Amino acid sequence: MTTLVRIAQIETLQGQTTVLHDVDWQQFEAILEDIGEKRASRIAYFDGVLEVRMPLPEHERVKEIISDLVKALLDFMEIDFEPFGSTTFKRRDRIAGFEPDGCFYIANVLVMRGVKRMDLTILPPPDLAIEVDLTSRTQFDAYRAIAVPELWIYADNCLKIYVLQDGGYLESGLSKVFGDLPIAVVIPQFVDYIFEKGRRIALREFHEWMGQNVGR
C-alpha cells in the first residue's frame, strides 16, 4: 500500500516556493490543517494551484517596516483601523485563498471589530493588503478573485499601488486609502531610511514629514 507524503513533510527553504498543481478545495483545506497556523510560510491558492512560500528574513523585516509606517499614518490622520497581519483569507465559491504579508481593515473597521474567526462568505476582504516581492500570478489572481480593493506590492525598493476596478487591478499613482499623499514615493524612501539610520531616528523623521505634509 502506497503512503502519500503529507505537505508538512515537504520542506520549503527560505526564499523559495513550493508549487502544487491540481489541488481541489478539499485537498487545499486538508493541507491548511496539515501545516497548521504556527508557521513562517505563507500560502496562495487559485483555481487548483497552491503555492507555499518561505520568506527570507529581509522580506519579513521590510513587511514589518511598511506595516509600521501605515499604522503611523493612519494614527496621525486619526483614521480608525484594524490590522489583520497574515490572516488566512479564503473563499470556496471563488476557489481562492491567500495570506498577505500584512493587511488592514479601514473602511470596514466597524464590521471587523471583535471578529475572531474569518469567514469571507459573510465578512468583507481587507481594504488594503501588502505584499513584499510578489512575483506570482497565483497570488495576484487570488487577490483579484477575493476582491481586495487595494493591493500594494513592494519590490526592489519600489512600491506599486493596484486598485481594483471592474473586476481587475489597475496600477495607480495614488492610494484610495491615503488620497493625494505620494505614498509610492514616501514609503520606499522611509524603508531605506530605517535600514540606513535605524528605526528610532527614521520614524522620528517620518513623524516630522507627516506633520509637514499630512492633513487631518
Mean pLDDT estimate for the chain: 90
Give the per-residue pLDDT at 105. 98
pLDDT band at residue 215 under the 50/70/90 scheme: confident
Residue 88 domain flag: yes
Contact 95, 27 (CB under 8 A): no
Residue 151 domain flag: yes
Average pLDDT score over residue span 37-58: 89
Give the per-residue pLDDT at 55. 85
Residue 106 domain flag: yes
Share of the chain above pLDDT 90, in %: 74
pTM exceeds 0.85: yes
Give the per-residue pLDDT at 3. 43
Q: Rounded to an integer, what distance in angstroms lies between the CA atom of residue 49 and that of residue 125?
A: 21
Give the per-residue pLDDT at 170. 96
Residue 8 domain flag: no
User: What CATH number does residue 105 fall under?
Assistant: 3.90.1570
Average pLDDT score over residue span 47-53: 93
Share of the chain above pLDDT 70, in %: 93
Q: Which of 140, 185, 145, 148 is nearest to 164 (CA)?
A: 148
Task: Provide the number of structural domains found in the chain.
Answer: 1
Give the per-residue pLDDT at 7. 61
161-210 pLDDT, tens digit per residue, is 999 999 999 999 999 999 999 999 999 999 999 999 998 999 999 999 99
Residue 120 domain flag: yes
Give the per-residue pLDDT at 38. 78
Average pLDDT score over residue span 140-147: 96
Residue 175 domain flag: yes
Residue 40 domain flag: no
Range of the domain at 162: 56-213
In residues, how long is the chain? 216
pLDDT band at residue 136 under the 50/70/90 scheme: confident
2-35 pLDDT, tens digit per residue, is 444 456 556 665 677 889 999 999 999 999 998 8
Amino acid occupying residue 193? Y
Sign of the four-CA dihedral 34, 43, 138, 107: positive
3-state secondary structure of 14: coil
Judged against a pLDDT cut of 50, whether residue 1 lies above it is answered with no
Residue 137 domain flag: yes
